[in-house]
Structure 1
Amino acid sequence: MSDLIFYTNPMSRGRIARWMLEEVAAPYETRVVDWAAKPDDFLAANPMGKVPTIVHGDQVVTETGAIIAYLAEAFPEAGLAPTQAERAPYLRWMFFAAGPLEAATTDRSLGVAPTAEQQGMVGYGSLDRVVTTLESAVAANTYIAGNRFTAADVYVGSHIDWGLQFGSLPQRAAFDDYLARIKDRPAAVRAREIDDALIAEAPG
């Protein structure tokens, strides 16, 4: 049994964590969580009952962005943690994706749009502001933290990809160009194939 256990569902944010697990290339055990019957060992690890969750030895990590960052540090040989020069943009855009980007796109999907008066109360202000900021960020360099692929690209890139697929982000040439640089990495392709196969195997 691997000392790295991955609780996930192939139709969830677990797909992002899967990509990162394939990038670090460490052995891991997948435990697929059924939405209607969550096992006791999973709920003991994460009482929120949310996937993805990883258990690495005696450490439990929840929240997708935290999982991505943890794996980058836990497996430094993969070279996905930031260098000192990359650290500021790496942290900036990881937290931007976990905070303003996810909140803004989720609100759009739910049909929620803060008024001009309410924009100061929400962390993202407005979706337009988030989109403009993100567009500038991915156009500024080859990758989100500079000129080298890092774990932040797994997280930010996945958010952009999902946003475009589900219509919570508008189409932008800069987003398409950025995704073209990262989506066909071998680890990304393997991760998609694994999760797509799990979906295909699920009872109809």
Structure 2
Amino acid sequence: MLRDLSHPITGGMPVYPGDPTVHVHAALDLARDGVAVTALRLGSHTGTHIDAPAHTVHGGRTMADVALDELVGEAMVIRMPELRDREIYGWEHLSSLAPVPDRVPAIVVIATGWARWFADSRATRHPALASDAARELVARGMRILAVDTLSPDLTDGSSTDFPVHEVVLGSGGLIVENLCGLEGLPARVRIGFFPLRLAGDGAPVRAVAFL
């Protein structure tokens, strides 16, 4: 069984503060033009998407450098319930709810439950991972950090400080943001992230759990 973990892309959908707004409209009409074609205008970090190192790292690799086999594999799901608005949770908190093994799978998913606020103003007040916890996960083998929030860092439209991005993307890893549908997933599950074949700093993805 497959489960879709991605938000649908629709016109006017929420985006990270300052990102391009999303426009979806009919460019050609089936009755008038003989075919239906939809025109899209959106940023590379729209909806459920992946960040390549080039997103925040000068000279970092782009999506053109990311192999497909990096994007599919066993994932560890860490649940962080009952977090407060803008709460920063560190390694002690992360590892207190369930033991984190010395070696983790390449994909680590942190489920905060914040996806339910995706279309609400509370979306920007999501909790964030502390950089020390990100560093420990990378040291234990994580290559992709996936979250159900706008970012693993605090969201502040005026800030240029992204410590978790610096740790994960700075190590050559990848970040997936805005997952949904994580409820009930087992602690270990196979997940795939399938991005548009864009050569730049990131791309929308279809995220899928293989149950």
| TM-score, normalised relative to structure 1 | 0.30
Q: Hey, which of these two has a bigger chunk of helix by percent?
A: 1
Q: Hey, which of these two has a bigger chunk of strand by percent?
A: 2
